[in-house]
């Protein structure tokens, strides 16, 4: 065993997590670099060039633009088909392993899915390369954690691998850690963030050491100075991004459903998706690949092969076709391209009104990137940090924050689902918890047919116990307030001690300290009380101050209602 890992056995769990996160970050950077080189080798093998795939496709004849995505889709589909047949439907996604599992990622199906993603990427599919890279980085964290960490640490170390992978892909260590914390883990705490930061920083330093150090969309030296024109477009950008994102997600969902209904095997479906996308690429080659090169063109004001509105619509359609047909990959960079095109389109529209202050088209496009990503992912904090680190310009923060938050708020009005299913499942669970808080007890309230008053005698109480066969009888005063309970055990002990006191009052036997629930309490409050008490029924009062008695709720009724809510 390596010395660094032997040392971790003597440290606290927090120190071990930090120490293990560093080599995991370095390994993750190495894995993502290998995958990036594999893409370049694939380009050289197929096309004799390692340029961006958009540039390569633009130089191909029209029939190659049709055939290459179709053939690549068929190969990617064959790899996925083999993975499904060999390993079943077991999910190997890192998000599921971290959010809902124990952090274990099965290596073989994960590698096959990554090879399938590689085939889609090299064949110009409109898919992001970051999906497979982060998946492989998370697999590295999972394998390292299984070798050198405890089961309790495994989820966090797998998450560290994912954060390091995203950081090494985009050179965004802060956003990489926040992405995993906000979306995958669903919690932002110091104990979670510090190991994620350690892994992300280690990965970024490893990339720097390898000579890769540029921010993806750097604006050059100095600080960006957004003018009045940029601020004028914040509201339109936020509104349009918030409206377009739900439509984009719905289109992706429709694409998946439509391809699944086709009577074709997976390789044929993915070949068909590639062929249809190739048909779009014949006229607009910018739809190919993840969209990185077209984003650079938008930021630098270079012309496209087609008008920007058509390019924007074409990219949305191409991504829906590739993702819908079943391709494995990321939608992160394609979403950034859609947001950048949306922002640039608004900047062009602003030029039609020369009386208004004009804004820098590149800055407006960057605000659009953050706004659309926030609206699609439902993770505005991550989107803000991601675009900020990609540009390394602090002057962009204010318009970026405003546009992203507005887009997120608008998107949530029209669609509660996020791009990431793990986030949707977490919100569904939280909604059920909220339902437990909000559900009132009054619908479960049962009346009490037999109860006592403080003036009842021991004989009357004895008769009531014989009728009800309960452990406690509630004592309600003349004003309808809950005065306490009389226990059958105390009554029996009193009668055994002196059987001639049947006409005495029960006042001396009343126990005033007893579990109560106010009418405003929710099901979760009731269940928490039942879980810590042997009682089968609990009295409900109007409030704990007045103690006006309303009835009782039973453990059986509360449990039945909880089961109904859990199954809904």
Do 30 and 156 fall into the same domain? yes
Q: Which of 209, 238, 236 is nearest to 402 (CA)?
A: 238
Q: What is the pLDDT of residue 48?
A: 87
Do 485 and 529 fall into the same domain? yes
Structure tokens at 521: 């309490």
pLDDT of 270 over the 90 cut: yes
Q: Report the number of distinct structural domains present in the chain.
A: 2
Query: Averaged over 194-218, what is the pLDDT?
Result: 81
Do 100 and 174 fall into the same domain? yes
Query: Averaged over 205-211, what is the pLDDT?
Result: 85
Residue 24, classed as helix, strand or coil, is helix
Query: Averaged over 241-260, what is the pLDDT?
Result: 93
pLDDT tens track for 467-486: 888 888 888 888 889 888 88
Tokens 């900020």 — which residue?
Answer: 388
Residue 549, classed as helix, strand or coil, is strand
Residue 424, classed as helix, strand or coil, is helix
Per-residue confidence at 37, pLDDT binned at 50, 70, 90? very high
Domain end residue (candidates: 365, 397, 431): 431
pLDDT tens track for 347-358: 888 777 665 555
Q: What is the pLDDT of residue 221?
A: 44
Domain end residue (candidates: 381, 407, 431): 431
Do 7 and 106 fall into the same domain? yes
Range of the domain at 381: 3-431
Residue 418 counted as domain residue: yes
pLDDT of 9 over the 80 cut: no
Query: What is the spatial distance between Cα 470 and Cα 467, in angstroms, rounded to a whole number?
Result: 9
Do 373 and 463 fall into the same domain? no
Residue 105 counted as domain residue: yes
Q: What is the pLDDT of residue 309?
A: 93
Residue 472 counted as domain residue: yes
Q: What is the pLDDT of residue 50?
A: 81
Domain end residue (candidates: 375, 407, 431): 431
Do 348 and 462 fall into the same domain? no
Local structure of residue 182 (DSSP, 8 states): I
Do 292 and 387 fall into the same domain? yes
Do 454 and 425 fall into the same domain? no
DSSP letters spanning 411-456: HHHH----SSHHHHHHHHHHHHHHHHHH-BSGGG-B--S--B-TT-
| C-alpha distance from residue 543 to each of 56, 515, 516 (Å) | 73, 13, 9
Output the pTM of the full model.
Answer: 0.76
Q: What is the pLDDT of residue 437?
A: 53
Do 411 and 466 fall into the same domain? no
Residue 436 counted as domain residue: no
Structure tokens at 139: 């697999």
pLDDT of 273 over the 60 cut: yes
Do 151 and 247 fall into the same domain? yes
* CATH number for the domain that contains residue 523: 3.10.580.10
Query: What is the spatial distance between Cα 109 and Cα 120, in angstroms, rounded to a whole number?
Result: 17
Per-residue confidence at 1, pLDDT binned at 50, 70, 90? very low
pLDDT tens track for 153-195: 888 888 899 999 998 888 888 888 888 887 777 767 777 788 8
Judge residue 475's burial from the number of C-beta atoms within 10 Å of its C-beta, 0-12 exposed, 13-18 middle, 19 or more buried: buried
Q: Are 380 and 173 in contact (CB under 8 A)?
A: no
Do 147 and 86 fall into the same domain? yes
Per-residue confidence at 493, pLDDT binned at 50, 70, 90? confident
270 alpha carbon, distance to own chain's centre: 27
Residue 437 counted as domain residue: no
Query: What is the spatial distance between Cα 169 and Cα 143, in angstroms, rounded to a whole number?
Result: 20
Structure tokens at 524: 């979760």
Q: What is the pLDDT of residue 487?
A: 87
* CATH number for the domain that contains residue 262: 1.10.3080.10
Q: What is the pLDDT of residue 567?
A: 57
- Looking at every residue in the chain, the average pLDDT score rounds to 84
Do 423 and 451 fall into the same domain? no
């Amino acid at each position: 065993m390596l010395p660094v890992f032997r040392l971790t056995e003597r440290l606290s769990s927090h120190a071990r997590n930090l120490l293990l996160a560093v080599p995991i970050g370095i390994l993750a950077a190495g894995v993502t670099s290998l995958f990036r080189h594999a893409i370049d080798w694939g380009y050289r093998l197929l096309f004799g060039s390692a340029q961006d795939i958009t540039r390569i496709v633009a130089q191909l004849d029209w029939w190659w633009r049709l055939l290459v995505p179709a053939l690549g889709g068929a190969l990617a589909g064959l790899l996925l088909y083999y993975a499904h047949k060999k390993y079943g439907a077991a999910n190997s996604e890192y998000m599921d392993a971290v959010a809902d599992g124990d952090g274990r990622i099965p290596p073989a199906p994960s590698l096959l899915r990554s090879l399938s993603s590689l085939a889609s990427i090299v064949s110009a599919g409109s898919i992001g390369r970051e999906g497979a890279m982060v998946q492989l980085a998370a697999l590295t964290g999972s394998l390292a954690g299984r070798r050198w960490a405890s089961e309790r640490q495994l989820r966090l170390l797998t998450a560290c691998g994912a954060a390091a992978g995203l950081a090494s892909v985009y050179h965004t260590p802060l956003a990489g850690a926040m992405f995993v914390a906000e979306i995958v883990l669903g919690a932002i705490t110091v104990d979670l963030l510090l190991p994620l930061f350690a892994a992300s920083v280690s990965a970024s330093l490893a990339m720097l050491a390898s000579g890769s150090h540029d921010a993806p969309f750097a604006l050059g030296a100095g600080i960006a100075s957004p003018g009045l024109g940029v601020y004028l477009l914040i509201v339109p950008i936020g509104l349009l991004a918030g409206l377009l994102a739900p439509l984009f997600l719905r289109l992706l969902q429709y694409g998946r459903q439509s391809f699944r209904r086709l009577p074709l095997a997976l390789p044929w479906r993915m070949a068909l998706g590639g062929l249809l996308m190739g048909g779009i690429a014949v006229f607009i080659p910018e739809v190919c690949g993840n969209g990185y090169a077209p984003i650079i063109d938008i930021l630098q004001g270079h012309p496209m092969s087609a008008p920007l509105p058509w390019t924007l619509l074409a990219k949305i359609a191409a991504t829906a076709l590739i993702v819908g047909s079943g391709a494995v990959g990321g939608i992160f960079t394609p979403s950034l391209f859609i947001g950048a095109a949306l922002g640039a389109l608004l900047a062009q529209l602003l030029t039609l009104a020369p009386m208004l202050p004009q804004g820098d088209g590149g800055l407006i496009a960057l605000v659009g990137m953050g706004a659309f990503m926030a609206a699609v992912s439902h993770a505005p904090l991550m989107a803000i940090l991601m675009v900020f680190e990609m540009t390394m310009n602090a002057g962009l923060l204010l318009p970026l924050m405003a546009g992203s938050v507005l887009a997120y708020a608008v998107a949530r009005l029209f669609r509660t689902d996020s791009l990431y299913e793990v986030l949707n499942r977490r919100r569904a669970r939280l909604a059920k918890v909220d339902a437990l808080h909000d559900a009132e007890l009054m619908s479960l309230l049962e009346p009490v047919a037999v109860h006592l008053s403080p003036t009842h005698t021991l004989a009357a109480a004895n008769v009531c116990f014989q009728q009800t066969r309960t452990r406690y009888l509630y004592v309600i005063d003349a004003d309808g307030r809950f005065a306490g309970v009389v226990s059958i055990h105390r009554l029996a002990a009193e009668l055994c001690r002196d059987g001639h006191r049947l006409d005495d009052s029960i006042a001396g036997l009343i126990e005033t300290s007893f579990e109560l629930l106010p009418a405003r309490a929710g099901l979760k409050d009731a269940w928490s009380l039942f879980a810590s008490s042997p009682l089968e029924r609990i009295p409900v009062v109007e409030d704990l101050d007045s103690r006006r008695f309303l009835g009782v709720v039973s453990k059986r009724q509360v449990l039945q209602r909880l089961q109904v809510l859990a199954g809904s």
